[in-house]
Structure 1
Amino acid sequence: MKQTRSLEERMADQAAELKERAHQLPAGAEREALLKRARIAETGSHLSAWVRSPGLQRPN
């Protein structure tokens, strides 16, 4: 299966969807779990973009 969108885009969209679902719920464990998953997806998106950036240098 060939992806038409980048991993970063898919993860950012997933984060936005999770946040939207979370904000429709009352405060509680389920809402917090969705917000946590959204933060993880956002972090993954940012890390993937950083790893793929041309300016990334190998640590010394």
Structure 2
Amino acid sequence: MRCGIKQTEKLEQRLAHRAEEMRQRAKTMPPAVEKETRLKLARQAETGAHMSERLRSPGIQPPT
């Protein structure tokens, strides 16, 4: 069941923005667990964007 929220950006764009937001927040933090968590979230968002992009492509290509 979906809620009534209509997304105005593609998933890839939302994930890219999320990754950038996490990287910016991590820049202002001292080295610690929370900073590493933010960087991990940024990497996960970027990976998700790439995966979604590949899955939407007309012909799924092998990884390069």
Per-residue Cα deviation, 1:10-41 (whole angstroms, up to 9, x for no partner): 00000000000001101111100000010000
Return the TM-score normalized by structure 1. 0.89
Give the structure 1 partner of residue 18 of structure 2.
14
Identity of aligned residues (%): 51
Corresponding position of 2:6: 2
> For the aligned residues, what is the CA RMSD?
1.0
1:33 aligned to which of 37, 40, 48? 37
Q: Which runs of 5+ in 1 are unaligned?
A: none
Give ranges in structure 2 of 5+ residues lacking alignment: none
What is the total number of aligned residue pairs between the two structures?
Answer: 57
Question: Cα distance, 1:2 vs. partner?
Answer: 1.5
Question: TM-score normalised to the size of structure 2?
Answer: 0.84
Structure in which a larger fraction of residues adopt helix: 1
